[in-house]
Amino acid sequence: MSFPIHEQFQSFQGEGYHSGRAAYFIRTYGCPVHCPWCDSAGTWHPDHKPESLNRLEAATLAVAAANSKAEFTVITGGEPAIHDLRTLTDALHTHAQPVHLETSGGFPLQGDFDWITLSPKRWHPPLAENIARAQEIKIIVDAPEAIEEYVQLLGGQLRYNVSVWLHPEWSKRSDPAVLNAITKWVKTHRAPFRAGVQIHKYFAADTLDSRSADPVPLGGDPAGGPSV
């Protein structure tokens, strides 16, 4: 089985519990969620589609990941869960690569994953079964009121031992209102909430691998989001 691949590259994980660890990234093409602040809009946006797209076999991807000497492989997107990932996760495990998944959680998961990072989106809510399976949750805070909105969206399914990371949306990383909202929430509510940031972007770590695609941040532009 082959997969539409937007990019694959070696870097380090820049978010969440595994921040700073060497990782290999496989970014699939395609996403029906359409976040208005998406930073990999080349995986779906009509104005940023690549001129050509590779379809690669699971075995080919697994060998590349294993040869990278990364500690684990991250399957991301786009929205990777729109694909049946079972053959890819099996191939990666055959090469002794732990498999991490980054998903909005809005689609059934197909594959054997060692770690699931769920990043819910308000316009395409996650499935309850995926919230229950997640090892961590990452909330993108694009406005001060977003934290309360996502907590209500997740309902009573938050668990004390599953970290909920509050990340400022990248174009709001210096916005005092957003940063103060995160700080106040963590100070008031404590665990499982934790403040976070995308540290790989400060290092430009991904772009140091020539195989990585140019980032396409939409920066909150509504025209590039759910209406597309």
pLDDT at 223: 74
Q: Whose CA is closest to 91, among 55, 54, 61?
A: 61
pLDDT at 51: 87
pLDDT at 220: 85
pLDDT per residue rounded down to tens, the chain (228 residues): 899 999 999 999 999 999 999 999 999 999 999 999 999 999 999 999 898 899 999 999 999 999 999 999 999 999 999 999 999 999 999 999 999 999 999 999 999 999 999 999 999 999 999 999 999 999 999 999 999 999 999 988 999 999 999 999 999 999 999 999 999 999 999 999 999 999 999 999 999 999 999 888 898 876 777 766
Greatest Cα-to-Cα distance within the chain, rounded to the nearest angstrom = 49
The alpha helices in the chain, defined as continuous H runs, are: 58-67, 86-94, 128-133, 146-154, 176-189, 199-203
Gap between the terminal Cα atoms of the chain: 29
pLDDT at 227: 65
pLDDT at 224: 73
Q: Both tokens of residue 144?
A: 């001060």
Domains of the chain: which residue ranges?
2-136+203-224
Architecture per CATH, 2-136+203-224: Alpha-Beta Barrel (3.20)
Q: Are 202 and 176 in contact (CB under 8 A)?
A: no
How far, in Å, CA of 93 to CA of 85, rounded? 12
Q: Both tokens of residue 133?
A: 């399976």
Length of the chain equals: 228
